[in-house]
A = this chain, B = another copy of it.
Amino acid sequence: MSRLFNESDSQVLADIIRLRRDVRGNRFNDNPVSDADIDTLLNAAMQAPSVGYSQPWQFVVIRDSSVKQAVQQTFIEANATGSMQFTGDKRAQYDALKLEGILEAPVNLAVFYQPSETAVLGQTSMPEMGKFSVVCAIQNLWLMARSLNIGVGWVSILDPLKVKKALNAPESAELIGYLCIGYVDEFLAEPELKQKGWQQTKSATEVIFKDRFS
């Protein structure tokens, strides 16, 4: 018989989900993240669902500061371009936000999708399913990190090709996520972009439909 979880287990998960945060560079502290910590995180990631059990993920654990610096350089360029998509007060607010913690985080983790050379069960009609499997792995890792009181920030303001170059990645590998990982003194009570008024929380009625779109 398979294990049944109880209400207390379910509540623990609900709390981890509710209290998980995206952590920026101004919040990491100096406590070292051990290789054992990283193994625990990657073990959670590798147990994610994957289309056709293809496990199409690759993880690069980065502690080398020269690699971090190269990635931070692409953040700086991409962030300047990103800022220009906003105008007026919104751009001023954008420019005041700290949006990455590449150098501050003791560990960076680049997560790639490695496409299969042969057909993948379940991916024949929806080719993006392989990438989505890699995202499931990242979310597993993020929740596991929060349960260990380790902060994770996902940096997406990057040129993926420049990140690949910095990591000597094969042509075929596709960057899915770039994570900054480290211990923190505190997790914010609410998402930072909500607290700062960048974006409101959507209500359930805005996003949930019954049987079909109305």
Contacts and interface: CB of A to CB of B under 8 A. Distances in A.
Interface of A: 1-5, 9-10, 12-20, 22, 39-40, 42-44, 46-49, 51-55, 57-64, 67, 78, 81-82, 85-86, 94, 97, 99, 119, 121-126, 128-129, 131-132, 135-136, 138-140, 142-144, 146-149, 154, 156-160, 166-170, 173, 175-177, 186-189, 191, 193-194, 198-199, 201-202, 204, 207-214
B13 A211 contact: no
B46 A189 contact: no
A76 to B, nearest CB: 12
A75 to B, nearest CB: 9
A81 B125 contact: yes
Given A49-B20, A167-B212, A191-B53, A124 B157 contact: yes
Nearest to A93: B121
Contacts of A42: 204, 208
B198 A144 contact: no
A51 B156 CA distance: 8
A128 B135 CA distance: 11
7 contacts: A4-B149, A49-B154, A59-B208, A63-B211, A64-B211, A140-B143, A169-B212
A131 B210 CA distance: 22
Given A60-B209, A125-B156, 6 more contacts: A4-B149, A12-B12, A13-B16, A13-B143, A64-B212, A82-B124
A9 B2 contact: no
Contact of A125 (B19, B119, B159, B204): B159
Given A12-B13, A125-B158, A135-B139, A199 B53 contact: yes
A22 to B, nearest CB: 6
A176 B132 contact: yes
